[in-house]
Amino acid sequence: MVLQADTVYNWRIWNGTTWYTGTPFSVPFCPDTIIPTSSASNPNTWETADFTASFTDFDTGGSGLDRSFYQVLDYNGAEWRANNGNGFYNDNFDQSIHPDWTISTGTWPISSGYLNQSDEGLNQTNINTSLNQVSSEIYLYHYQANTQSGMSSNRRQGIHFYANNGTLPNGGNSYFVYFRVDDNSCQIYKVASDVWTLKKDTVLIINENIWYDHKILFNPLSGEIKVYVNNVFISEWTDTSPHISGNSVLLRTGNANVLFNDFKTYRVRSNTELITIGPDSTNDVRFQNPNPSTPSCRIKTIVKDNAENWSLPGSLNVNIDWTIPSDVAVNDGISIDVDTICTLSELSANWSASIDTHSAVVRYWYAIGTAPGGNNIINWIDNGQNTSVTQTGLTLNADTIYYFTIRAENGAGLFSNDISSDGQVPKIMQINAFADTTELTLPDSTIIFTDTSADAVAWSWTFPGGTPSSSTSQVQPVVYNVAGTYDFSLSVTNIYGCTDSIYAASYIVVNDPPPAPAIAGFTSNITSGCEPLIINFTDASSNAPDTWL
């Protein structure tokens, strides 16, 4: 059961035989004075393409939500602006007057962070700017103003909106809300063919030297205009034949020195809205983060309930980067680029640093393959922020080309182009050395050492105990004068800088010469005589015979 406020109700009870009538009662009216709340959200830390923002609105006062608005701002590295071509506008007047504004009449400097029309002597002043406004949207025009003390008794300030010709004094076809300090009134005008007609005049106390917050809600489809000052509903008027479209808004004063601040335009929204980003002038966000810690997108939201209560503005900053990091230059090896290597178990590469001013480079990735861009040897590996790597534990094939491919990743998750090295080839040095003999017998004393290793260009021999004891020749005779066993070593370098070494222990055997052969010889005490003849022979053999026959 839903009871209506300020309505008298009677109740009766039936006890089975008789009706009993109770005391009449009513439900008092309790106005909704609680402001609604509104917030924007986005699940991603960074956005690189068009994205959808979500909005959450609550009205706990009970009157229900009426209108929801949003605004998209972008930061150009100096100030927050909004794309007026998309129906948004933002100017905080913190810097010099923006070139979007055109001064028709009056003096409009930026002073202490405010736009100040300071010429009180002019009956009508005008500064206008482009703003695309279409009938399919509902708009909220929002700004603050402060009318200064002055000599005039007819001070006023206001805004033309939904104007179709900003160059005309009254915007051609437009609507106009005027706030009069000395007359204490809020006036709503319709302007047709640059001639205005007063449609609504409402009493409003406005004091000089006081800041007031102005909100004007306009629904082009219904023609409804509502005016709020300091979030209090002041006046409304509905045009039964509303203008079709507008391309400008105008701020104006009359016989008044007025400060303006924070001019903004919002559009009506749903619970989600597509936010377009990119360098094209038609996008909501046209700039990227100037650095990783400074967002370039801000989404603002504000809602109104049916009791005319406005929420506080909600705000969400979003980081934007749609540009990939700069490409790197890749070298094979640990320093300058190499074409050949001398190992079958590891590969190295180094590369130049990638640059990304918007979201910064957060890591590098590398892969290794047998073709440029390939990853058949090592699939993509995160190398952190290091700009060099040595991949160990590989089983490589000699004379095969291996390529490193590098990509940089930025904080927004975008990758640079994959850049490959020009390749590196394992070239293995294998020694093929020999001696013409490994054993000799004195007095023969010379052995010839020879190396026939492929592509060899440098040799380093050692011959301990031999003469010479070392050599850098490809072919080297060595003399051994003393019997014994001898070692030798050889280190060979090929044209690619690869080396191989061998060490041969007791490789050479040098023998003493064999003993000289026994030479038979003898003497006798007589050499002739008559028989019986006894002769005594004496051995005179040389070279120490040990057998006699």
Domain range for 334 is 330-426
Alpha carbons 252 and 174: distance in angstroms, whole number? 13
In a domain, 317, yes or no: no
Report the C-alpha gap between 309 and 315 in whole angstroms.
18
Alpha carbon separation from 491 to 456, 460, 484 (Å, rounded): 10, 5, 24
The residues pairing with 41 across neighbouring beta strands, listed in sequence order, are: 54
As beta bridge partners, residue 26 has: 8
**97 shares a domain with 242:** yes
pTM over 0.85: no
Of the candidates 426, 445, 467, which is a domain's last residue?
426
How far apart CA 229 and CA 224 sit, in angstroms, is 17
What is the chain's pLDDT, residue by residue, as a tens digit (549 residues)?
666 666 777 767 777 777 777 777 666 667 899 999 999 999 999 999 999 999 999 999 999 999 999 999 999 999 999 999 999 999 999 988 999 999 999 999 999 999 999 999 999 999 999 999 999 999 999 999 999 999 999 999 999 999 999 999 999 999 999 999 999 999 999 999 999 999 999 999 999 999 999 999 999 999 999 999 999 999 999 999 999 999 999 999 999 999 999 999 999 999 999 999 999 999 999 999 999 999 999 999 999 999 999 999 999 999 999 999 999 999 999 999 999 999 999 999 999 999 999 999 999 999 999 999 999 999 999 999 999 999 999 999 999 999 999 999 999 999 999 999 999 999 988 899 999 999 999 988 899 999 999 999 999 999 999 999 999 999 999 999 999 999 999 999 999 889 999 999 999 999 998 877 777 776 777 777 777 777 776 777 677 777 766
CB neighbour list of residue 223: distance below 8 Å, 6 or more residues apart: 238, 239, 240, 241, 242
List residues bridging with 277 in a β-sheet.
285
Beta-carbon contacts of residue 205 (< 8 Å; ≥ 6 apart)? 184
**Spacing of C-alpha 31 from chain mean position:** 50
10 lies in a domain?
Answer: no
Confirm whether 30 is domain-assigned: no
- Note the pLDDT of residue 517: 76
The CA-based dihedral angle spanning residues 405, 406, 407, 409, taken in that order and rounded to the nearest 10 degrees: 140
Question: Which pLDDT belongs to residue 172?
Answer: 97
Q: Are residues 124 and 259 in the same domain?
A: yes
Does one domain contain both 186 and 225? Answer: yes
Domains in the chain: how many in total? 4
Phi and psi at residue 154, to the nearest 5°: -140, 50
Q: Are residues 194 and 238 in the same domain?
A: yes
Q: What is the pLDDT of residue 536?
A: 76
| Phi and psi at residue 473, to the nearest 5° | -95, 155
Please say whether the beta carbons of 235 and 227 come within 8 A: yes
Domain CATH for 506: 2.60.40.10
Distance CA 61, CA 32 (A): 5
Neighbouring residues of 234: CB distance < 8 A, sequence distance ≥ 6: 186, 202, 204, 227, 228
- Asked if residue 536 and residue 474 are part of one domain, the reply reads no
Residue 170 lies in a domain: yes
Half-sphere exposure at residue 258, Cβ-oriented, CA atoms within 13 angstroms: 33
145 and 101 belong to one structural domain:
yes
The C-alpha atoms of residue 202 and residue 371 are separated, in whole angstroms, by 80
Asked if residues 406 and 365 have their Cβ atoms less than 8 Å apart, the reply is: yes
The residues that bridge with 52 in the sheet, in sequence order, are 274
The CATH number of whichever domain residue 228 belongs to comes to: 2.60.120.560
Phi, psi (degrees; rounded to nearest 5) at 84: -65, -20
Statement to judge: residues 206 and 70 lie in one domain? yes
Beta strand pairing status for 330-332 and 347-351? Answer: antiparallel
Cis peptide before 443 (omega within 30 of 0): yes
Find tokens 């103003």 and name the residue: 145
Let me know if residue 212 belongs to a domain: yes
CA pair distance 46, 43, nearest whole angstrom: 9
Query: Beta strand pairing status for 232-238 and 224-229?
Result: antiparallel
Specify the 3-state DSSP secondary structure of 192: strand
Q: 365, 394, 426: which is the final residue of a domain?
A: 426
Beta strand 19-21 with 25-26 is: unpaired
- Contact between 118 and 110 (Cβ < 8 Å): no
Residues 533 and 502 in one domain: no
Q: At residue 171, what are phi and psi to the nearest 5 degrees?
A: 80, 15
Predicted confidence at residue 1, as pLDDT, reads: 61
What residue type is assigned to position 532 of the chain?
Answer: P
Task: Look at residue 529 in the predicted model and tell me its pLDDT.
Answer: 72
